[in-house]
Amino acid sequence: MSSDQTPHTASNGRPIRLYRLPDSLSGKLWVWRYLILRRITQFSVLLLFFATAHWAWGLVGEPLLSGNLSSSSVVGLVPLADPFAVLQILFTRHLLSTEVLIGAAIVLVFYALIGGRVFCSWVCPVNVVTDFAGWLRNHFDLGNALHLNRSLRYYVLALALLLSLITGLAAFEWVSPIAMLHREVIFGIGMGLIGVAGIFLFDLMVLRHGWCGHLCPLGAFYAVVGKAAQLRVRFDESTCTRCGECIRVCPEPQVLNLNQAAERGLVTSGECTNCGRCVPICPEDSLSFDLRPWIARHDQRQRANRTIG
C-alpha cells in the first residue's frame, strides 16, 4: 500500500498514511539524521579515549580525555564518573575521593537535565552492537524465543546494589559488557569480547532489544534519573492519526503511550532513550524534540486557540 492511498481516516478526520522512506539520498540522510548523529557521538567518545591513550592527544599540556566510561578526566581538570558505579562502590562501604564524587555529581546533573537514557543511545558503545542485532532481526524477520518483562532491569539494578553490599565489590562493574567493550576498543581485543558477543547473540536470537530493553541495570538507573529531564519528545495530538509507525520502530515502545502523551503534550517516561527514531518517520510530523518549558507554552497556546475556536 503506498503512502498516497487513504484507506482509513483517523478520529481527527485526517487520512491515515503509512511512512515511506524517501527515494532521494538527501531524503534518506534527513530521515537518518539522528542515527548518524548518534553514531558520530558514540565513535567520537571512543576516539577521544583511544587517541588520548595511544596518541597522547592533549590540551594545555594535559591528557584530553583519560580514564574510561566509569571514571575519567577531561584535560585533567573536570572529573567525570559513572554515578551508578559510584553508587555501587558506596554500597560496598568503601570511601571515595571528593574528586570522584564531584565527577559523579556532574554526570548525574547532566543526564538528569537532558534525559538519563541519552547515555544509552548516544554514548554507550554496546548500543551499536544491540542496534546491529536489531537490524539483522528485522532483515531476517526473526521472532522472540523468550518473553521477559521490561521491569526486570529494575530488579537487576537492585540485585547489583545488594550484591555490592554483601560482597564488598561493585557487582555490575565486574560483569558490565559496557566496560568490557570499552576496554576491548581502547586497549585491544581480549576475553571481554566474549561477553559482548553474548549480548549480540542474545539480542539477535533470543529477545528483541533483550539487553538494553530488559536487563541492563545501568539503563534502569538512568531511566530513573531521566524521569524529569527537560529535553523530551513532544507529541502533537491534533495531527496524529495513530498510524503506529513510531511504535513500530521504537526500541522502547511502551514509552509511546499516546493517550498519556496527549494529556501532557510529551513522552513522559524516563525509559525513553531520546534516540530520535520515532521523530523522522512520523508521516504527520506529530513528534519532535523540544524542551519542557517550550512544550508547556505550546500546549497553552493550543488550548487558548481551541477555546477561542
List the domain boundaries for the chain: 33-224, 232-307
Closest CA to 218 of 74, 94, 108: 108
Residue spans of the chain under pLDDT 50: 1-3, 6
Extract the runs of DSSP E, i.e. beta strands, from 102-240.
231-235
Please give the Cα distance from 113 to 196 (Å, whole number): 30
pLDDT attached to residue 300: 79
In terms of Cβ atoms closer than 10 Å to its own Cβ (0-12, 13-18, 19+), residue 16 is middle
Q: Which residues pair with 287 in a beta bridge?
A: 235
Q: Which residues pair with 88 in a beta bridge?
A: none
pLDDT attached to residue 7: 58
